[in-house]
Amino acid sequence: MVDLKAGMGAHTIAEILSEPATWKSCLKAMEQTGELQSLNEKLPRSVEWVFIGCGSSFYLAQAAAAAWTILTGEKSRAMPASEITLFPQLFPAACQPVLITRSGYTSEVLQAAEYLEERLHLQTLAITCGTGTPIEKIASYCIKLAAADEKSTVMTRSFTSMLITLQSLAAIRGDRRDFLDALRTLPDQVAGRLNAFHSTIKSLADSRVFADYVFLGQGPFFGIAQESMLKVKEMSCSYAQCFHTLEFRHGPKAIVSPETLITFIISETGFAAEVSVLEEIKKLGATTLAISNVGDSTIRRAADYFVELSLDVPEAARAAASVIPGQLLGFYTGIKKGLNPDEPRNLSRVVMLETK
Ligand code: F1P
């Protein structure tokens, strides 16, 4: 499917296209160990859940927090790990902290974990794709998804696999049997759609490079829009921004021109309101990409490019699949600009800070 010059980005594209199979392995591993059920029994109820991370893992925390409240009815929020150690007064003392870190080595996450365990005496839950990592030693509980670990610097299958695993825990906590059953069907459904996503996004990226990439999403799709923005920044060194869809009218639409690609990750819940922003922004002359589970004539008219997810699962369960077009856009725009998505400029796979 993918013919790349000199293996440029070979790890990243292989890991993106391996997502459905990786999700299947992670879901199976969780079922076999039953660790999510036992965690659900051990972890406190009726407290706020605070999802914590850095970079992609912070945007994952945003998507996970939205899904947590939708599936359990419990309060939740997302915070970058640095906020906990720099402004501890902003952290809710009585809560269940969830530390998200692909590598298990990120300094801000380890510092936050030590502070929460040792100073606030909270039993933290960590989720990681690493094995034998420092976070495992600090956190009280740790979910490990070794099958989702990656060679590439940027997070792709680790992001979606950790999100789906946290959604599974939320569905168990919220007694949402239907959601768990739906998640089990997601890998095969997405495997059947991947070619369509791939060819639409590759033809978009091959057609042109934009001066500015904007990603819009609401609810459980805002964190997904954030992560899609980061993928385009990291892999193609392009200028990219993210907003809540309806917030785009309140000022940011001033940047709209044919040089701006505006990507709408459209929810089912806010469909009418979000599509009316798409129509308005198209009239202002933007180039538009719409990602939605189903498309109607309005979307097909107002979107220059359209990715129809067409997944038979509840809305929140579509979050992981809806980030794949952004991953592919970042990848192919990087390739088009002659960059190697496996080695993004200025980036390292893990941010480890010197301790003063
Ligand atoms: C994740 C992260 C990535 C970023 C870069 C540096 O850290 O911030 O999001 O793309 O690769 O690391 P973690 O999840 O390993 O803590």
Query: What is the DSSP code string of 128-182?
Result: ES-SS-HHHHHSSEEEE-GGG--SSSS-SHHHHHHHHHHHHHHHHHTT-HHHHHH
Q: Average pLDDT, whole number, for the chain? A: 96
Instruction: For residue 233, give the nearest of 334, 94, 89, 340 by alpha carbon.
Output: 334
Angle between helices 19-33 and 10-17 (to 10 degrees): 60
pLDDT at 254 over 60: yes
C-alpha to C-alpha distance for 327 and 235, rounded to whole angstroms: 9
pLDDT of res. 2: 53
pLDDT above 70: percentage of residues in the chain: 98
CA dihedral 200, 57, 37, 114 (to 10 degrees): 170
Instruction: For residue 162, give the nearest of 138, 124, 128 by alpha carbon.
Output: 128
pLDDT of res. 311: 98
pLDDT of res. 354: 83
Other residues' Cβ atoms within 10 Å of the Cβ of residue 147:
18
Say yes or no: CB of residue 102 within 6 Å of ligand 1: yes
Q: How far is the CA of 199 from the centre of ligand 1 (A)?
A: 28
In contact, 279 and 264? CB cutoff 8 Å? no
Kindly give, in sequence order, each residue whose CB lies less than 8 Å from that of residue 29, ignoring residues fewer than 6 positions away: 145, 147
7 φψ region: left (φ > 0), alpha (ψ -120 to 50), beta (else): left
Burial string for 132-146 (b: 16+ CB within 10 Å, else e) reads: ebbbeebbebbbbbe
From the CA of 54, give the closest atom in ligand 1: 8
Residue nearest to atom 2 of ligand 1 (CA): 55
User: Tens of pLDDT along 149-184?
Assistant: 999 999 999 999 999 999 999 999 999 999 999 999
pLDDT at 3 over 60: no
Say yes or no: CB of residue 82 within 6 Å of ligand 1: no
Say yes or no: CB of residue 343 within 6 Å of ligand 1: no
Structure tokens at 322: 């809806």
Q: How far is the CA of 246 from the centre of ligand 1 (A)?
A: 29
C-alpha to C-alpha distance for 268 and 276, rounded to whole angstroms: 13
pLDDT at 77 over 60: yes
Banded model confidence at residue 327, pLDDT cuts 50, 70, 90: very high
From the CA of 109, give the closest atom in ligand 1: 16
pLDDT of res. 7: 78
User: Tens of pLDDT along 285-310?
Assistant: 999 999 999 999 999 999 999 999 99
In contact, 312 and 328? CB cutoff 8 Å? no
pLDDT of res. 1: 45
Probe ligand 1: pick from 12, 15, 56, max atoms within 8 Å of CB? 56
pLDDT at 4 over 70: no
From the CA of 349, give the closest atom in ligand 1: 11
Structure tokens at 344: 């993004």
pLDDT of res. 93: 86
How deeply is 56 buried, as exposed, middle or buried, from its count of CB atoms within 10 A (0-12, 13-18, 19+)? buried
